[in-house]
Structure 1
């Protein structure tokens, strides 16, 4: 009897891990999956945390909610190469190197950026778009304009701002290297424009 219990525990643990992995890969919240699976969000939270055992009738609904087969939900997760392998992209005097995989829309995306020494003049109209931005300057001095305020960001300093504020950043006196994290929709504006 103990062997059956151990096997059931293994399946339960595997599905819990897989459920969380698939949900986060797709950028879905517990509420998103719960609505799609027609399961109470507290039930889903307890399933993921192991505070509730998985029932067989949950499997097909959860698989459908995550757009996978039931078999895929039950299988062992593949050990994935953790390295991010993506080339750089340049736009408007900034080169972007992805530090995160291209993930789900709505997730955070991190980049190492290099702002060209020639990017010194802001546009006549500062852009505004959905999202949130974080910048950490590693080298050089970054000029950041937020609305009617003008800032100099030095190495070792970080900034965070809503991209609903008219904004622009560029170089002051040479190239700038920074880490940038763009919240929902911000990466589309910067990287693809």
Structure 2
């Protein structure tokens, strides 16, 4: 313990000696750089720049290097902050199209450009799951979907018929059908007529 205290005392003495100027030499001035806010005027900025230039002239070469490193470090921090902010703005504005939008585009390309159209299982599955919902598949697209379902084959056709029959039974059980249920039943009947 005694050694540690004596070492600490020696360090404190060295710091005090380093901080106090030697006899005969003028004390070094520590200049603080004022920070300028974004709201500052052009006159204030130019005034600060001239003050900085005078401050730099008073510094020793070593102090200049230290100051330059600090300024460089601050510039890099500012650049990183600006990059993060711009990236955050870009993330807030996603250009992604929803699965529903892509499925409707898929359906439209099937109807208009069959030579360029390519089968996509995920798009067909989304359409089959959501075809009774007027909000997800508007009437404009439902007529195209009925044409598309005409060419449906295999397990997808059988599954669609079974689901439609189950939904009809479910809707028949409800005593007071709502308007949305009536539109849904109408669509289910159209699908069953087409596929049966």
Verify same fold: TM over 0.5: no
TM-score band (shorter)? under 0.3
Would you tell me which structure has more strand in proportion to its own residues? Answer: 1
TM-score when scaled to structure 2?
Answer: 0.20
Would you tell me which structure has more helix in proportion to its own residues? Answer: 2
TM-score when scaled to structure 1?
Answer: 0.21
Structure with larger Rg: 2
